[in-house]
Amino acid sequence: MEDATVEEAEVSGAAEFAPALVAAHPLGHSVAVAVGSELRVFDLKDGSAVSLSDDSGGGSHSDAIRALSFSMNGLLFASAGDDKLVKVWKTDSWCCIQTITSEKRVSAVAISNDGLYVTFADKFGVIWLVNVGQSDGGQGSTDNKPVPIFGHYCSIITSMKFSPDGRFIATADRDFKIRVTLFPKNPLRGAHEIQSFCLGHTEFVSCIAFTCLSQGPSFLLSGGGDSTVRLWDYINGCILDTCQIQDKVGELLEPNETEDSNLAIADICPTNDGSLVAVAIQSLNGVMLLACDFIAKKLSFIKVCLFG
């Protein structure tokens, strides 16, 4: 009974309103959009909507979709949300090949870089893993049930990403912290080795993203309810730079929208080469563009692009 009470409290209020989600295929083939429980995919080459099919034997999404993720090579796609379903899709046919049932509502989802595993986080901060392919040794999960690999101790996970080299999985939560965990060779036995904690946000962390040069080290970007975008050396858990966005967009908003609570970072998206970062801000009808200097390890403001 207590668990049920906590879960209902966590999704009350503003959290009940699911924003529209957009995920782009890493090779630019398609774009997936989720609004509420509806999932739509658009083929960017043909300029047309894609017909989705389901061979998984599971149901369709019946409640708000909270997370979308493409695999690194774009062959797989995952969607998950408040209906406690995680659905895995093959992008060559856009057929759902597996439907996984979670014990709790799902707040984040990611696919390992090798495409063998899907990880998802529930509302209690537990990260679960499912084998969706065969490993190098031909060993897979025999019953294909979700296995808990680590947790954030009753803090809602807001974002989850694998590092570009696949060695780490980063998870952010509403308790202001980012955990960087070593992703083991056999994650079905759990992921217990913590690489670092990235601590510095003074409000909830809403989104994270890895960024890197093609032949250089990678860095972690994060945004949060404290109206900041931060650049991290995630291996050592060190803040490299912090960009305060309030001074940059305050004059573009109505007076009642300039409070910190209305300037939470909604999402961040770096370009493929990492040189630019698009930042979505809660009350801003547009996006902010930042430059990311990997040599100086600095973020700098470029401009705000308003819609309409």
Q: How many domains does the chain have?
A: 2
Strands in 168-173's sheet, in edge-to-edge order, are 157-162, 168-173, 177-182, 194-199
Note whether 184 and 66 are same-domain residues: yes
Q: How many whole angstroms separate alpha carbon 299 and alpha carbon 308? A: 27
Of 167, 199, 231, the residue at which a domain comes to its end is 199
Note whether 193 and 114 are same-domain residues: yes
Q: For residue 66, what is the domain's CATH number? A: 2.130.10.10
Note whether 109 and 236 are same-domain residues: no
pLDDT range class, residue 10, cuts 50, 70, 90: very low
Note whether 118 and 215 are same-domain residues: no
pLDDT digits over 278-304, tens only?
999 988 888 999 999 999 999 999 999
Q: Which of 37-51, 179-193, 212-226 has the lowest mean pLDDT?
A: 212-226
pLDDT range class, residue 41, cuts 50, 70, 90: very high
Of 199, 222, 248, the residue at which a domain comes to its end is 199
Residue 143: per-residue pLDDT: 58
Note whether 99 and 131 are same-domain residues: yes
Residue 87: per-residue pLDDT: 97
Of 199, 233, 263, the residue at which a domain comes to its end is 199
Task: Flag whether pLDDT at 107 surpasses 50.
Answer: yes
Note whether 242 and 307 are same-domain residues: yes
When pLDDT is averaged across residues 146-158 and rounded to a whole number, the result is: 94
Average pLDDT, the chain: 88
Strand partners, 220: 210, 232
Residue 163: per-residue pLDDT: 97
When pLDDT is averaged across residues 13-39 and rounded to a whole number, the result is: 83
Task: Flag whether pLDDT at 1 surpasses 50.
Answer: no
Q: Which of 90-104, 244-258, 288-302 has the lowest mean pLDDT?
A: 244-258
Task: Flag whether pLDDT at 261 surpasses 60.
Answer: no
Q: For residue 15, which phi and psi values (nearest 5 degrees)? A: -65, -15
Which has more pLDDT, 10 or 97? 97
Residue 15: per-residue pLDDT: 44
Q: How many whole angstroms separate alpha carbon 63 and alpha carbon 123? A: 15
Q: Name the DSSP class of 254.
A: -
- The helix (run of H) or strand (run of E) holding residue 9 is helix 2-10
Note whether 81 and 99 are same-domain residues: yes
When pLDDT is averaged across residues 155-167 and rounded to a whole number, the result is: 96
Q: Which of 29-38, 59-68, 100-109, 209-218 has the lowest mean pLDDT?
A: 209-218
Q: Which of 25-29, 211-215, 222-226 has the lowest mean pLDDT?
A: 211-215
Note whether 36 and 68 are same-domain residues: yes
Task: Flag whether pLDDT at 252 surpasses 90.
Answer: no
Which has more pLDDT, 133 or 90? 90
Residue 253: per-residue pLDDT: 66
Q: How many whole angstroms separate alpha carbon 205 and alpha carbon 174? A: 6
Note whether 180 and 79 are same-domain residues: yes
Note whether 104 and 49 are same-domain residues: yes
Task: Flag whether pLDDT at 172 surpasses 50.
Answer: yes
When pLDDT is averaged across residues 1-8 and rounded to a whole number, the result is: 42
Query: The domain containing residue 294 runs over which residues?
Result: 207-308
Residue 257: per-residue pLDDT: 53
Task: Flag whether pLDDT at 59 surpasses 80.
Answer: yes
Residue 2: per-residue pLDDT: 37
Note whether 182 and 308 are same-domain residues: no
Q: Could you tell me which of 146, 160, 159 has the C-alpha nearest to residue 190? A: 146
SS3 138: coil
- The helix (run of H) or strand (run of E) holding residue 221 is strand 218-224
Which has more pLDDT, 214 or 103? 103
Note whether 144 and 234 are same-domain residues: no
